[in-house]
Structure 1
Amino acid sequence: MEKYYKPTSRSSETESSSQKKARVELSPSDIIADPGLRKPIDEYDNEIRDQVRRAYLLNGPTQQIGHTFPRKKQGDHFRSFQESWFKKFDWLEYSVENDSAYCFYCYLFKQPVRTDKFGYEIFTRQGFNNWRKALDAFKEHVGGVNSCHNNARRHCQDFKNQRQSVSHVFTSHSKEAEIAYRVRLTSILHVTRFLLLQALAFRGHNETSSSSNRGNFLELLSWYKEKNPEVAKVLYENAPGNNQMTSPLTQKEMVKACAQETSLVILDELGDKLFSVLVDESRDASIKEQMAVVVRLVTNTSSLITIIVSNILNFIVVVCRFVNQTGHVIERFLGIEHVSDTTASSLKVALEGLFARHGLSISRLRGQGYDGASNMRGEFNGLQRRILNENPYAFYIHCFAHQLQLVVVVVAKCSSYVADFFNYTTLIVNTVGASCKRRDQLLQDHHDKIVMKLESGDIFTGRGKNQETSLARPGDTRWGSHHTTLVRLFTMWDSVLKVLENVSDDATNQTQKTTAAGLIEKMESFEFAFIMHLMLKVLGCTNELSRALQRKDQNIVQAVNLIVVTKQNLQHMRDNGYDELLEEVKGFCMKMEIPVPNMDDKIPARGRSRRDGQMVKYSHRYHVDIFLVVLDSLLFEMNEQFSEASTNLLKCIACLDPKDSFSKFDHDKLLELASIYSVDFSPFDCTFLRSELGTFISDVRNSTEFSACHDLATFAILMVQTERHLCYPLVYRLIELALILPVATTTVERAFSAMKIIKTELRNKMADEWMNDNMICYIEREIFAAIHDERILQRFQNMKTRKIQLSQISN
């Protein structure tokens, strides 16, 4: 027998097994939106080639609506690609990278033919860019019935129709099997919807049937099966062994289908509108850098978008802000994009890639807003400068909420008195909250005092009142945290002193005893009480502004007005508020038995010995050295940080403010605003705008419908409701441009919060695409919840070849 069968050694078996080809999987990075950067379809591995085709078919051809196509001289004239060609030729794709046109069908399904056929290489590999003869070339490429292009189109249609495939014919199932499959798939979709809307994890540690920790998806599906007899007939043991539809891959595909349909609804809202970008930075649970993009737009006939981009230390987050058909300002989240680093060049490349996948273009940008990081706001090499070099109409606005936080931080350190006060405040918070025991004592004592006051009638119950709370630590990067710290310290004053007394009495460490005793002495000083009341008033004023700036429907005109009002209030406080503050502090001190000094007595100047003879009155210390220094520093920083309000652009936009019957309306300034956005207002438009403005202002001033209008957002809504946006389209276009200018990165901050909910320490290994799909569905849950099941099921079916096909039913 040995002469017929050669013996094989164990080493040769191992060698042959190691030479087996590893399974090739499709990566999201393999799908490139720009047709000029794609590798040919025949260069993909055979195992994933059909997956690549389906991925591109789901995305559709890359057609940049609203893009400013570059012009180049061809013959005697300057010519460019025309957007109208997309409507005439549905197969047409455009590459921004190399300014060339491609054929979508030929790229995916071209058949081996003679290379002399016109368009075989031009429209698939090289790219066509002879715009002078474009229409003739496109028609010649389409050719006759049996042309290469039409054959590729037919192959595409057959490929999309899985019911006509050979595999479906050989594995055709009965009508009952299809109905059972639909019920099973719908049940899985309902479970997926619930988990996505609640931001719950899908997977468990062990998903076998005997496991007690199979994960939320399988556990909820089992519960669903028990509650619904119809579902029980088609799940688990009642489903074919090769069509259970509960694998991790199926779960991810269903979530991806949900996310893609949600994004499609958002992109339909965007259409061909203009937009702006806003960028911020943070970090996710796996210490990856992310960039988040938010889009803000005004949806109407010529509406505008704002894209707010945020950098989460290796991702970009995209959200859209827009004014819908009724004139309301809305913000939508588009997705996250992983970036290798946070340099301006990397952020721009990532942003361009994300734009390309969503059919957006940087040429449609009309604004940028960042938090102040040098890699973004840099005047010469930052992201905003790189975008401005490409599109000079993408005006940069520094995030107002971040600027305000910078003002608060500076004021918190403006003088040695205030800096010393916040140092002691931090020490108090740390000492009282150093252990669970002290925290419990603080909460219990505060609770007992609230109960006593309720029983005596000093305070009353009500919705949201008298909630359990604790001391909060101030942070330079947390909006409103300084004010929150002082409010809670003031509210829990007696309880804090009680805990410090307990620490001083019971602590075994002498350092802790000494520290607690010193803090009690410091708190029960007039200086500490005075600065606390002063900072409560000052930070309370800025905190109201901060919360107003973080509203989703906030616009640049209203934000500037709020800043002006805040400055006026602070100036009034500086000129007239000292005496009132002093009396308030004295009343507090008498209630808390804190000694009040005689304001005419003298004490050494701060930082001086009594022997130097440099003495000042108490009144001078509190009025000049503390009160005036804090208010002057605050006003100075407000003017420095919000210098944008004095720029020519915002001065022109301020003329649209409807307050006091358009008291700020300036005909020439609004014409100047149109000239600033010259790409959106042609010379012909400017000529008509001049007469339209005169008619417009007379109309709205004499109309009772606009008499009670006090802000631009409300005015835009009324314009649509009264259909005046159709009567004055050019004026409404100016209003839209003003509304989309970014004010704050609040939406991106909310996206960061959602990311922390979705990607936790226990789920810190989530892949970028999986996290992106979860975030889209969770953040835009209102849109996601309204999408019909059938749309998601059909997209899920088309993502790959399925064993059973669904008959499409109408929505």
Structure 2
Amino acid sequence: MSHFNHEWFDDIYHDWLEYSVRKDAVYCLYCYLFKDHNTNQGGGETFSTIGFKSWNKKGGLDKHIGLPNSIHNHSKKKCQDLLQQRWSIQFAFERQSNKLKHGYYMRLSASVDVVRLFISQGFAFRGHDEYKSSLSRGKFLEILSWYAKKCDKIRDYVLKHAPIETVKAIIEELNGDYFGLLVDESFDVSRKEQMAIIFHYIDKMGFVMERLIDIVHVEDTSASSLKEAIFNLLAQHSLSPLSVHGQCYDGASNMQGEINGLKMLIRRESKSAHSIHCFSHQLQITLVGVSKKCVEVGKLVVLISNIFNVLGSSFKRMDNLRDSQKSTIQVALDMGELRIGRGLNQQLGLSRACDTHWGSHYKSFNNFIIIIDERAKAMGHLEACQTFEIAFMLDLMRDILAITNELNKCLQKKEQDIANAMLLVEVAKRRLQVLRDDERDSLIAKVSTFCIKHDVLIPNFEEPYISSLRSLRKLANYTILHHYRVEVFCNIIDWQLQELNDRFYEVTTDLLHGIACLNPINSFSCFDIRKVMRMAELYPDDFDESNMIILQNQLTSYIVDVHERFSNLNGLCDLSKRLVQTKKHSNYPLIFNLVKLALLLLGATASIERAFSAMKFIKNDLRSEMSDDFFSGCLVPYLEKDVFDKISNDVIIKTFQDMKPRRIQL
């Protein structure tokens, strides 16, 4: 071993010659790896297994190398091919694999893009005939074929993943903070009871957010079943029931029950989960209450509903009604009574009123007044309406409902806070009072003009009033004018005001008084530290004794600091944003906490109604058999487009790849 020197062999043998110290012999690396053992050329097994001991004689090594076609040179060529990776089989497979991956990724991206389009627009995915021979394979396959020519069947996977990523982004935006619950149930086109769950919360920038989290099929609508479904959803997203700091429901007994209603079941889990009855729902119910007290209003509602049913049941009557509207509009245009412009003088439909459908009565009454004309009377469908009493009631109810309908629209805005809702209710009450005090005579004059135009008999207002419910022999001891001024006009408005006061009883509570004190409108004119402190006491889990002392000190400094700087704000939503923008939320954290709690008290369930409207669009008669998961997968991203649009295709594709082993892994 000591007399072997590798430098002797560095010239032409260094790349293949290997020396064994134990055997004191040399070997050929090429032949050892690649030589065919069935041949005896090139020294047989000497240089591959036995070992060449006469290594000091280079002639034997040269003889082993031999001619260009020798076994040694063939083995050397095989070794060089192995070392050249770009010519190897593995490299060829990898090169082919990268090409396949790129094509696979492009097809996945195309599929995800088309699915995004369909989700955002609420389109149906399946076609009636999806075979390749079909001329119309459905919207999804046709658009995807146009867009990418090929389609991997990942629609169901993307739809399953879309709501997961959307809700995940919403939960991240919530960031473990507390939130309010909006819950309601409604049946879909397949007669399944669906419960929509919306989170109402304040994001990091102080903006009020309302997000649909899920729509859940519930077989039982009892309060306990709804609570179980809600808590299961919270647990699924690692949220505690203690995070619920506000609730808003309609007037259903399973929601608003004071003993075993859903709001009380959740209050037992979270003392801070205060509940407000939906203002818009209460507002609509006031009309139902008035119609039960006033016979004339009840008769009017029934009469209009019956006439709309008669007209709407026949396409011939509807055609006659449309022709009548066209003729009336043309005459009014010729006389200069109507203006010409885009969106004006549109054809009116027959909108049927519903007791709890917001604004439906106002639309019905308004359309009914407009479509009364000579052609309609000649048709004989509206003969029962050609009386002064009906005309007076129509105009009166339209004026009253115009006030409450405006309030309805304001309450249905997404960023409407409870403090502004309370102010809007008070404004509606004042407007009704002004209508009662100042517009009695003007209404009678307006109705008289209407009757003259449509040849309706106007009664002699000085004659004694004869009620249709009394005997003709028993005349009332007041005139017809007194009847319309007092018995009808004043009483109906008084009943409406009484219903508003009775229904909106929450306005008198300490909680809403405290919220009103936080409202920055009119330079914090309602600010009262004592009432704000009383509001904080209603949240014992958030304000302990030490926090109450700190809060009182912060309130004293806060009002001095922001009284003039925040004087131009229009509500609690603006206040929340401004506190974050000016970093005051870190200076007054307890006050900012109170502002957020105030914003979590909801005044209307308009977002729930929007979800149910979208539900009817997503799940219709042609798509009535879709599964609950598929339905939720379509509805959540459809409503929360802004969140879903921020989720990249790569995130969706990664989750799609991780769901199970794929033929091609990216």
| TM-score, scaled to structure 2 | 0.83
1:778 aligns with 2:657: no
Matched with 2:134 is 211
Post-superposition offset of 1:445: 2.2
1:342 aligns with 2:221: yes
Distance (Å, rounded) in 1 between the aligned partners of 2:407 and 2:350 = 23
Q: Gapped runs of 5+ residues in structure 1?
A: 1-169, 226-231, 236-243, 301-324, 505-515, 807-811
Distance (Å, rounded) in 2 between the aligned partners of 1:715 and 1:405 = 30
Distance (Å, rounded) in 1 between the aligned partners of 2:207 and 2:333 = 43
Query: In structure 2, do the counterparts of structure 1 residues 419 and 535 end up closer, same or farther at CA, with 3 Å as the change threshold?
Result: same
Aligned match for 1:286, one of 190, 195, 198 = 190
Aligned match for 2:152, one of 245, 262, 265 = 245
Distance (Å, rounded) in 2 between the aligned partners of 1:745 and 1:702 = 34
Aligned match for 1:177, one of 80, 95, 100 = 100
Matched with 1:161 is none
Larger-Rg structure = 2
Matched with 2:570 is 710
Matched with 2:478 is 616
> Identity of paired residues, percent?
40
Per-residue CA shift, 1:85-116, capped at 9, x if unaligned?
xxxxxxxxxxxxxxxxxxxxxxxxxxxxxxxx
1:625 aligns with 2:532: no
Matched with 2:532 is 670
Check the 8 A contact 2:510/2:531 in 1, yes or no: no
Matched with 2:123 is 200
Cα RMSD after superposing both structures: 1.9
Distance (Å, rounded) in 2 between the aligned partners of 1:545 and 1:286 = 34
Query: In structure 2, do the counterparts of structure 1 residues 208 and 727 end up closer, same or farther at CA, with 3 Å as the change threshold?
Result: same
How many pairs were matched up? 574
Distance (Å, rounded) in 2 between the aligned partners of 1:738 and 1:343 = 29
Matched with 1:498 is 375
Post-superposition offset of 1:719: 2.3
Q: Gapped runs of 5+ residues in structure 2?
A: 1-92
Post-superposition offset of 1:716: 2.1
- SS of the equivalent of 1:281 reads strand
- SS of the equivalent of 1:276 reads strand
Aligned match for 1:574, one of 411, 420, 436 = 436
Post-superposition offset of 1:630: 0.7
Distance (Å, rounded) in 1 between the aligned partners of 2:195 and 2:162 = 22
1:555 aligns with 2:417: yes
Moved more, 416-425 or 541-550: 416-425
Query: In structure 2, do the counterparts of structure 1 residues 714 and 408 end up closer, same or farther at CA, with 3 Å as the change threshold?
Result: same
Give 1:257-268 correspondences, 5 Å limit.
257-268=161-172
Distance (Å, rounded) in 2 between the aligned partners of 1:613 and 1:185 = 83
**2:427 aligned partner, one-letter code:** V
Distance (Å, rounded) in 2 between the aligned partners of 1:694 and 1:222 = 67
Matched with 2:17 is none
Per-residue CA shift, 1:587-643, capped at 9, x if unaligned?
222333323222211132442112234453101211222112211111111111111
Per-residue CA shift, 1:700-744, capped at 9, x if unaligned?
2232xx222232222222222333223222211111111111111
Matched with 2:509 is 647
Give 1:311-710 correspondences, 5 Å limit.
325=205, 327-494=206-373, 497-502=374-379, 504=380, 516=381, 519-520=382-383, 522-703=384-565, 706-710=566-570
Aligned match for 2:176, one of 254, 269, 272 = 272
Check the 8 A contact 1:608/1:614 in 2, yes or no: no
Matched with 2:48 is none
Query: In structure 2, do the counterparts of structure 1 residues 733 and 463 end up closer, same or farther at CA, with 3 Å as the change threshold?
Result: farther
- SS of the equivalent of 2:199 reads strand
**1:501 aligned partner, one-letter code:** A
Per-residue CA shift, 1:380-399, capped at 9, x if unaligned?
11111111122221112111
Check the 8 A contact 1:337/1:354 in 2, yes or no: no
Post-superposition offset of 1:478: 1.4
- SS of the equivalent of 2:352 reads coil
Distance (Å, rounded) in 2 between the aligned partners of 1:290 and 1:653 = 33
Moved more, 539-548 or 251-260: 251-260
Per-residue CA shift, 1:334-386, capped at 9, x if unaligned?
11122221111111111111111112121111111211111121111111111
Give 1:8-407 correspondences, 5 Å limit.
174-225=97-148, 232=149, 235=150, 245-246=152-153, 250-300=154-204, 325=205, 327-407=206-286
Distance (Å, rounded) in 2 between the aligned partners of 1:798 and 1:461 = 61
Check the 8 A contact 1:370/1:376 in 2, yes or no: yes
Distance (Å, rounded) in 2 between the aligned partners of 1:432 and 1:730 = 60
Distance (Å, rounded) in 2 between the aligned partners of 1:292 and 1:597 = 53
Distance (Å, rounded) in 1 between the aligned partners of 2:310 and 2:193 = 35
**1:356 aligned partner, one-letter code:** A
Distance (Å, rounded) in 1 between the aligned partners of 2:630 and 2:200 = 25
- SS of the equivalent of 1:277 reads strand
Query: In structure 2, do the counterparts of structure 1 residues 376 and 685 end up closer, same or farther at CA, with 3 Å as the change threshold?
Result: same
Post-superposition offset of 1:288: 0.8
- SS of the equivalent of 1:478 reads coil
Distance (Å, rounded) in 2 between the aligned partners of 1:298 and 1:342 = 29
**2:115 aligned partner, one-letter code:** T
Check the 8 A contact 1:432/1:500 in 2, yes or no: no
Check the 8 A contact 2:203/2:209 in 1, yes or no: no
- SS of the equivalent of 2:465 reads strand
Higher relative contact order (CA 8 A, sep 6+): 2
**2:166 aligned partner, one-letter code:** T
Moved more, 443-452 or 381-390: 443-452
Distance (Å, rounded) in 2 between the aligned partners of 1:428 and 1:206 = 44
Post-superposition offset of 1:571: 1.9
Post-superposition offset of 1:173: 5.9
Per-residue CA shift, 1:475-524, capped at 9, x if unaligned?
11211111000111122221xx513423x4xxxxxxxxxxx3xx42x322
Check the 8 A contact 1:173/1:804 in 2, yes or no: no
- SS of the equivalent of 1:459 reads coil
Post-superposition offset of 1:537: 0.7
Distance (Å, rounded) in 1 between the aligned partners of 2:334 and 2:146 = 47
Distance (Å, rounded) in 2 between the aligned partners of 1:804 and 1:620 = 86
**2:173 aligned partner, one-letter code:** E
Distance (Å, rounded) in 2 between the aligned partners of 1:636 and 1:458 = 39
Distance (Å, rounded) in 1 between the aligned partners of 2:175 and 2:503 = 35
Post-superposition offset of 1:265: 1.1
Check the 8 A contact 1:172/1:804 in 2, yes or no: no
**2:371 aligned partner, one-letter code:** M
Post-superposition offset of 1:256: 1.6
Post-superposition offset of 1:452: 3.6
Matched with 2:589 is 729
- SS of the equivalent of 2:186 reads coil
- SS of the equivalent of 1:331 reads strand
